[in-house]
Structure 1
Amino acid sequence: MFQRVKQLIDEQSRRMRRYEKTVLLINSLEAEMEQKTDDELRQLTQSLKDRLQAGEKIEAVTVTAFALVREASKRTLGLRHYDVQLLGGLSLLSGHIAEMATGEGKTLVASLASFTQALHGHGVHVITVNEYLARRDAEQIGQIHRFLGLTVGINSAELSFEEKQQAYASDITYGVGTEFGFDYLRDHLIMRPEERLQRPLRFALIDEVDSVLIDEAKTPLIMAERDTVHEGLQQLIRHVVQDFTNETDYTFDEEIKAVALTDQGIETIERVFGIDQLFAAEHAVLFHYVIQALRAHVVLQRDVDYIVKDDKIALVDLFTGRLMEGRSLSDGLHQALEAKEQVSVTEENRTTAQITIQHYFRLYRHVCGMTGTAATSRDEFLKTYRMDVVSIPPNRPKIRHDDTDVLFLTSREKYLAIAEATAATHATGQPVLIGTTSIEQSLKVAQVLDDKNIPYEILNAKTVDQEIRIIASAGQSGRVTIATNMAGRGTDILLDDTAKEQGGLFVIGTERHESVRIDNQLRGRAGRQGDPGLTRFYLSLEDELPRRFARDRLVRVKKKLGSVSGPIAAKEAQQLMAYAQETCESVNRSVRDDLVQLEEVISEQRLAIYRLRNQIVDSATLDQFVHPFARQTIYSYIEQYLTDDLVPEEWPIDLLKTELEQLLHQPVTLVPADSVDTVKQEIEPLVETIEQLMARHLSEHEETARRFMLLALDEQWTSHLTAMNSLKEGIHLRSYGQEQPVRIFEREGMDYFRYAIFSFEKQVVSGFCRFEETPMQGGLIHATVD
């Protein structure tokens, strides 16, 4: 371990020395740049583009490009890049994560790397955590880029297709990561090349990279279509499940937030629905909905995971505290939640395309990022994304004081202590920011402040429309602000002069988060750019983390402490909180690792399907794809029915004949034979006839055939995703000997994938044969083969 730490320090030191030498070269050009006219600066931009087009490496133009951006920033924004910001820009250009403290000007740092990479002309995507920041940065930093002759676009959900095309055609495009991911999925549902939005994915610069690549890693991006509504079934299950009790009818693992039926719970469901075996294949839909109802009732909490707004369920992003507008849970869970809250049950969705944010960004040739809190996740960034973390020194020394935690036995004592500390601080005029982990918790804090008549502003998912105003005033003398994790990440809380004199912003944490990194994000709201500040966490042994991740230790510590009141100084109790958080981090990291491995299987399949789909969309002729389908499909049927474990006399020739006639929509003659090869020879004239028929249809109706093939491929991919998601849902309950679940998923997933490809080819062959019996009149015959 010591050697590893020493190695990291040595690597950082060597890298920083290289960057510092480059900064000296950039500084040496500053006087020269100041002498150039605006037009000469723009001409220099074109010169750098030409050099890259001629084959020079990016390293050859970096010094000039950075000096150019610094000068343009001075002229457009009146801001000069500090040397440490140049260091940050160089680390981004090298494909690393620049860790820079709050207030160090990461937005300005991004201008350096985004401009330099945009000189290639391939398109640069700058990713922000919300659309407000995307628009702000595009407007502010865009002034630099436009001044130097580059184009800047904003990608957002409400844009029309034409506006999105224009945004993606820009040299630099700003937007939220999820919207880029959804556009990638949409690009693989198109019918014509001109409907494609994204160019090849070359360079992504991610602001708040830990939030995007780690906190949101478990959340898949899902495109869906409407499916069958089972509202009556949902409501009936709700009536049953709402009376279930923990340990009697179901078990709940708080650590991983998983539910499972007990034997008694299974018996209750079987009795209510009048069935014998809940786990039988014919009851798979019922079992699925029961589990989703349990998750809705037990795992998901109102005002924590979601809110009810205007007779609808609105999901809350647990990492930012914001509402996830337009997002819904998949596989019937959203409908189970609606049934639980007795709001209108919406139509279910069937997944047509999906990708995790992790795998989307792994599609880019180059990815880099910025954040104030990455060092604690360095190993995960290296392992998953091959991105190292470079800690950039602050421009001014940090003078913020991070106080030790104050721990209580009960949450009641904790909230009273928070109220008292807030009252005492508020009396001095020092601004206070109280960070909470959920809407529910923010309301509890608000209640104790109301009891002491302390005025405050509250910022959570229910008050998001006031976010900019609340954050803008949170650093003013006398202000008290309660905020969930959405506390203006990406937006600095600026202190007025009086607040600075009174000690700066006092940040109070009301509970440990699921990782030290997120705790540090909250602390980082105070002490920007060398400002004064104070942070302190108030905790209790009734908090969520020790309850979920240290139950056994918690029982022992509580027994030892007895009915103690006031702050707890016992070392064992303090260690308990650290242990719970470390365990939580370990569990979450393990979940993400498992997800990466499972999603890797689906990712490889998705790439293969999308590669085929793009070829069908872009190819001038489709014969190269379609020609082998008839032979492959017919031969597959022959090999499926005429197996080696049967003697030829026992072969089900009649069944094979029926299958082929249903496939080809014409009579098929099969005579008894003594080998599979003989059958294939006998059927060769029919195979050639089908190939000629398909070739004729392609030549006469190629665009209709192209659309038919794309719809068939999409249909089979959708069915495959449903099957893969079901397989993934139950994979950890299965084990064959010592075989790991991911190996089982990999093997069975490949069987599913082969079947999906076979079904696609079968559907195409059958559809083309139906064209013969049902003449096309400018329309599309969409034949589905069972």
Structure 2
Amino acid sequence: MLSLLKKTIGDVNERRLKKYRKLVEQINALEPQIEKLTDQELQAKTVYFKEQLASGKSIDDIKVEAFAVVREAAKRILGMRHFDVQLIGGLVLAEGNIAEMATGEGKTLVASLPSYLRALEGKGVHVITVNDYLAKRDRNLIGQIHEFLGLTVGLNLPMMSPEEKRQAYQADITYGIGTEFGFDYLRDNMVYQLSDKVQRPYHYAIIDEIDSVLIDEAKTPLIIAGKMQSSPELHYIAARLAKRFQRDVDYTYDEETKATSLTDTGIEKVEKAFGVDNLYDLQHQTLYHYVIQALRAHVIFKRDVDYIVRDGKVLLVDMFTGRIMEGRTLSDGLHQAIEAKEGLEITEENKTQASITIQNYFRMYPILSGMTGTAKTEEKEFQHVYGMDVISIPTNRPKIRVDLPDNVYATKHDKYVAVVKEVKKRHEKGQPVLIGTTSILQSEKLAEYLDQENLPYELLNAKTVEQEAELIAQAGQRGRITIATNMAGRGTDIILGEGVAELGGLHVIGTERHESRRIDNQLKGRAGRQGDPGSSQFFISLEDDMFRRFAKEETEKLKQKLKTDETGRILNKDIHEFVDKVQRIVEGANFSMREYNLKLDDVINEQRNVVYHIRDKVLKENDRLALIIPMIQSACNQLIEKYCSEEQIPEEWDLEALAAELSNLMYPEQISFTRPLEDMDEVKEQVNRVLDSYIHHLENWKEHEELQTTLKQVMLITIDQNWIKHLENMTRLKEGIGMRYYQQEDPMRLYQKEGFELFTMMYNTIEREISFHLSQLIRPFMQSHTNE
């Protein structure tokens, strides 16, 4: 069954490639004709293509000739000619899909083709790279082709001024890192003048290393935060308390989902420590938040794995790249909880003002495409979340790297001893070895084993990031041993030294299976680039995190029937099948978690879209009074519901209080109710009479420029203040939703339901506050008008 499925998938990929090869033949057929063009004639093609599109031709109609033009421009400007496989990659991207291309196949040059084609539509193209260095490099290199052909090319970097960013976004093609594009989106939706926005509507994006951006970084939302007061003392007390907690006595911890929760015993300890009766009372919500964050800091976040401490500061480590995430801090007091755990000075807590996940940001692009060396294993997720297919592109030269079977050991010690033995054997003949580890802790542990054998090595992890480029560049030199965390993977070329190819090329050793085959494949891909010789092998143990976290019971059962040789290597025939099975379980669990988190974010994403849409209307609309009138009508209905409950008889309604609030809301109108009133309809009839008069009164002020300007500021401030409060409420709701038990109601449905209720409350508050502010604002204008 599995082989049939693989064959079917393979056939689909091959059918797509067959279609692209026919187009490549057409592009190649045009080459002699395009070569004869002068520079001016070649450059004139850009104007010609734009005219073709304006006259009704489609992108597909001009695609073949446009690709031929870009190839010729690249030859003349850079001395580089696109290979046929690079043309195929460009065709895949132009259609809004993912091109899976092996390391070293020239993905940077591939992007020059679809970015030119889609830029001809005049709606902007965004080329997303994984770091600033690559954005600058690619803009300066590939930008030469596009500028030669008459297109403008921009660069979007952090710390640029709004004016510089606006110019970058106005360019035909804009380079930058994905997070900065996302932050600009959030900042654009916090401005108080329409002219302060820097972005234009989204059209088409190419994401380099798309799996890293859309899958690995998907767990970390983009957050713009402001400082807020927190209690350092409370953080320290909560940290000391969390340190004394015992697992499965005071708290539970699911290693698979990394979810923590207090047990009844733990809750009692907290209540006793702080002298409170019920930790879950609304008045103790803040205390509960401090304690649960302290617990997470102690249980989930490990020093030298998830973060390092440098110069008295907690610096976060990217678990996928091993790099320090400069300037990034955890929100909602979690960063402060880690500082308290480490006994450091507590920094100010961040309060979220705007946020969006990477997934929901990039889903706003009508056409999205990407490149990577490793995407096929996550094809289902790309199709499900983004509607993109993954097309595997053949290599320009045959791949000759040898991927050896895993060596699996019973213990970590046996594994490390075996790794050192293998490194020593290859080092003695001069073959360079790159050893990949999953954490700083693991890399330093392995270094100790190498020290015992007096083997020279270079250690590359988040603590030594400054030397990264230099160390990796040298990793393919004769006799070199390099230990690296995941950071060694991307954006860095390893060139083989003289005579190394004859020794078998670079040998890569993995010391632990990652939580995804994709990351393992990235590590393997460091060897055997562009048809070079090379090899790879993984050394793993049943004590590795993957087995401990995701298959504890199955691993214990397996240990009962282990057969090992004298080195501790497991000889059981089914061991490789077991390892693959556990890794697939991990991949499934992580996919489910990303899917679940996306569903959670979809709730707030819909709310965000509503709020940002209202903000945009306030910014763009000249007659803001027209926007407020429905709000006033809603505010009146809310007050009627407040003072005239349908559950009460009319005699019990508080009409005096209703009249006072309505008169305050609709200055200078005055309202009073004469009893007896038969039903609610009579109340509404009287209110609507006064409301109609008030609205008619407001019509006189439509053209008052000063009032309209002031009103815009007040409306935006009111929306923003309530949205920030709402984001905090939604965070608390998400935090506590799993702790509560509702029969026959799953947490997701509960979050959706209560999130909608919170949003409705926030929206009602905005309507009331804006209506009241208008009443206050208009008084001085009316009074001065009356005095005149």
Question: 1:730 corresponds to which residue?
Answer: 736
Structure 2 residue runs without a partner (length 5+): none
Question: 1:783 corresponds to which residue?
Answer: none
Correspondences of 1:354-393 after superposition (within 5 Å): 354-393=355-394
Note the C-alpha offset of 1:357. Answer: 0.4
Q: Bigger CA drift: 154-163 or 284-293?
A: 154-163
Note if 1:703 corresponds to 2:698: no
Q: Is the partner of 1:33 in helix, strand or coil?
A: helix
Question: 1:75 corresponds to which residue?
Answer: 76
Q: Bigger CA drift: 765-774 or 182-191?
A: 765-774
Contact 1:642 1:651 in 2 (8 A): yes
Correspondences of 1:80-229 after superposition (within 5 Å): 80-229=81-230
Question: 1:681 corresponds to which residue?
Answer: 685
Q: Is the partner of 1:497 in helix, strand or coil?
A: coil
Contact 1:126 1:173 in 2 (8 A): yes
Note the C-alpha offset of 1:142. Answer: 1.4
User: What letter corresponds to residue 11 of structure 1 in structure 2?
Assistant: V
Partner of residue 750 from structure 2, selected from 744, 758, 783: 744
Correspondences of 1:102-501 after superposition (within 5 Å): 102-501=103-502
Q: Is the partner of 2:230 in helix, strand or coil?
A: coil
Note the C-alpha offset of 1:621. Answer: 2.2
Question: 2:591 corresponds to which residue?
Answer: 589
Task: Find the aligned partners of 1:572 and 1:261 in 2 and give their Cα distance.
Answer: 39
User: What letter corresponds to residue 620 of structure 1 in structure 2?
Assistant: N
Q: Is the partner of 2:355 in helix, strand or coil?
A: strand
Question: 2:520 corresponds to which residue?
Answer: 519
Note if 1:8 corresponds to 2:14: no
Task: Find the aligned partners of 1:76 and 1:446 in 2 and give their Cα distance.
Answer: 46
Q: Is the partner of 1:454 in helix, strand or coil?
A: coil
Question: 1:613 corresponds to which residue?
Answer: 615
Number of residues paired by the alignment? 778
Task: Find the aligned partners of 1:86 and 1:252 in 2 and give their Cα distance.
Answer: 50
Task: Find the aligned partners of 2:77 and 2:187 in 1 and give their Cα distance.
Answer: 37
User: What letter corresponds to residue 599 of structure 1 in structure 2?
Assistant: D
Contact 1:550 1:579 in 2 (8 A): no
Correspondences of 1:568-587 after superposition (within 5 Å): 568-587=570-589
User: What letter corresponds to residue 609 of structure 1 in structure 2?
Assistant: V
Contact 1:99 1:392 in 2 (8 A): yes
Question: 1:631 corresponds to which residue?
Answer: 633
Question: 1:649 corresponds to which residue?
Answer: 651
Contact 1:459 1:481 in 2 (8 A): yes
Note the C-alpha offset of 1:695. Answer: 5.0
Note if 1:754 corresponds to 2:760: yes
Correspondences of 1:505-544 after superposition (within 5 Å): 505-544=506-545
Q: Is the partner of 1:98 in helix, strand or coil?
A: strand
Structure 1 residue runs without a partner (length 5+): 779-786
| CA-to-aligned-CA distance 1:687-728 (integer Å, 9 cap, x gap) | 245435655666242112111111111112112222222222
Q: Bigger CA drift: 624-633 or 362-371?
A: 624-633
> CA RMSD, aligned part only?
2.1
The structure-2 alpha-carbon separation of the partners of 1:696 and 1:267, relative to structure 1 and needing over 3 Å to count, comes to farther
Q: Bigger CA drift: 490-499 or 362-371?
A: 490-499
Note the C-alpha offset of 1:775. Answer: 6.9
The structure-2 alpha-carbon separation of the partners of 1:563 and 1:14, relative to structure 1 and needing over 3 Å to count, comes to closer
Q: Is the partner of 1:242 in helix, strand or coil?
A: helix
Task: Find the aligned partners of 1:79 and 1:640 in 2 and give their Cα distance.
Answer: 73
Note the C-alpha offset of 1:685. Answer: 4.6
Task: Find the aligned partners of 2:135 and 2:323 in 1 and give their Cα distance.
Answer: 16
Question: 1:720 corresponds to which residue?
Answer: 726
Note the C-alpha offset of 1:776. Answer: 11
Q: Is the partner of 2:488 in helix, strand or coil?
A: coil
User: What letter corresponds to residue 581 of structure 1 in structure 2?
Assistant: Q
Task: Find the aligned partners of 1:303 and 1:712 in 2 and give their Cα distance.
Answer: 43
Task: Find the aligned partners of 1:425 and 1:661 in 2 and give their Cα distance.
Answer: 88
Note the C-alpha offset of 1:774. Answer: 6.2
Q: Bigger CA drift: 30-39 or 202-211?
A: 30-39
Task: Find the aligned partners of 1:562 and 1:82 in 2 and give their Cα distance.
Answer: 50
The structure-2 alpha-carbon separation of the partners of 1:701 and 1:655, relative to structure 1 and needing over 3 Å to count, comes to closer
Contact 2:411 2:542 in 1 (8 A): yes
Task: Find the aligned partners of 1:56 and 1:542 in 2 and give their Cα distance.
Answer: 61
User: What letter corresponds to residue 643 of structure 1 in structure 2?
Assistant: S
The structure-2 alpha-carbon separation of the partners of 1:39 and 1:229, relative to structure 1 and needing over 3 Å to count, comes to same
Contact 1:66 1:116 in 2 (8 A): yes
Contact 1:550 1:576 in 2 (8 A): no
Contact 2:512 2:539 in 1 (8 A): yes
Q: Bigger CA drift: 622-631 or 287-296?
A: 622-631
Percentage of identical aligned residues: 50
Task: Find the aligned partners of 2:60 and 2:98 in 1 and give their Cα distance.
Answer: 18
Task: Find the aligned partners of 1:259 and 1:511 in 2 and give their Cα distance.
Answer: 26
Note the C-alpha offset of 1:665. Answer: 7.6
Q: Is the partner of 2:561 in helix, strand or coil?
A: helix
Note the C-alpha offset of 1:663. Answer: 5.1
| CA-to-aligned-CA distance 1:147-197 (integer Å, 9 cap, x gap) | 212121221112122221121111111111111111111110011121111
Task: Find the aligned partners of 1:642 and 1:192 in 2 and give their Cα distance.
Answer: 41
Q: Is the partner of 1:367 in helix, strand or coil?
A: strand
Note the C-alpha offset of 1:742. Answer: 2.4
Contact 1:557 1:572 in 2 (8 A): no
Note the C-alpha offset of 1:645. Answer: 2.0
User: What letter corresponds to residue 225 of structure 2 in structure 1?
Assistant: A
Task: Find the aligned partners of 2:618 and 2:162 in 1 and give their Cα distance.
Answer: 22
User: What letter corresponds to residue 586 of structure 1 in structure 2?
Assistant: G
Note the C-alpha offset of 1:648. Answer: 1.3
Note the C-alpha offset of 1:737. Answer: 4.2
Task: Find the aligned partners of 1:458 and 1:697 in 2 and give their Cα distance.
Answer: 71
| CA-to-aligned-CA distance 1:546-592 (integer Å, 9 cap, x gap) | 00000101211223339975211123444433232122111111111
| CA-to-aligned-CA distance 1:250-280 (integer Å, 9 cap, x gap) | 2221111121112221111111111111111
The structure-2 alpha-carbon separation of the partners of 1:662 and 1:424, relative to structure 1 and needing over 3 Å to count, comes to farther
Task: Find the aligned partners of 2:232 and 2:180 in 1 and give their Cα distance.
Answer: 31
Q: Bigger CA drift: 380-389 or 563-572?
A: 563-572
| CA-to-aligned-CA distance 1:756-777 (integer Å, 9 cap, x gap) | 2111111111111222456799
Contact 1:191 1:707 in 2 (8 A): yes
Note the C-alpha offset of 1:434. Answer: 0.8
Q: Is the partner of 1:175 in helix, strand or coil?
A: strand
**Moved runs in structure 1, 4+ residues, more than 6 A?**
774-778
Contact 1:627 1:695 in 2 (8 A): no
| CA-to-aligned-CA distance 1:179-232 (integer Å, 9 cap, x gap) | 111111111001112111111110010111111111111211111112222212
| CA-to-aligned-CA distance 1:402-430 (integer Å, 9 cap, x gap) | 11111112112211221221122112111
Task: Find the aligned partners of 2:439 and 2:187 in 1 and give their Cα distance.
Answer: 33
Q: Bigger CA drift: 506-515 or 468-477?
A: 468-477
Task: Find the aligned partners of 1:439 and 1:471 in 2 and give their Cα distance.
Answer: 17
Note the C-alpha offset of 1:657. Answer: 4.5
User: What letter corresponds to residue 522 of structure 2 in structure 1?
Assistant: Q
Task: Find the aligned partners of 1:664 and 1:623 in 2 and give their Cα distance.
Answer: 13
Task: Find the aligned partners of 1:249 and 1:228 in 2 and give their Cα distance.
Answer: 29
Question: 1:782 corresponds to which residue?
Answer: none
Q: Is the partner of 2:305 in helix, strand or coil?
A: coil
Task: Find the aligned partners of 2:782 and 2:135 in 1 and give their Cα distance.
Answer: 48
Correspondences of 1:766-781 after superposition (within 5 Å): 766-772=772-778
Contact 2:163 2:198 in 1 (8 A): no
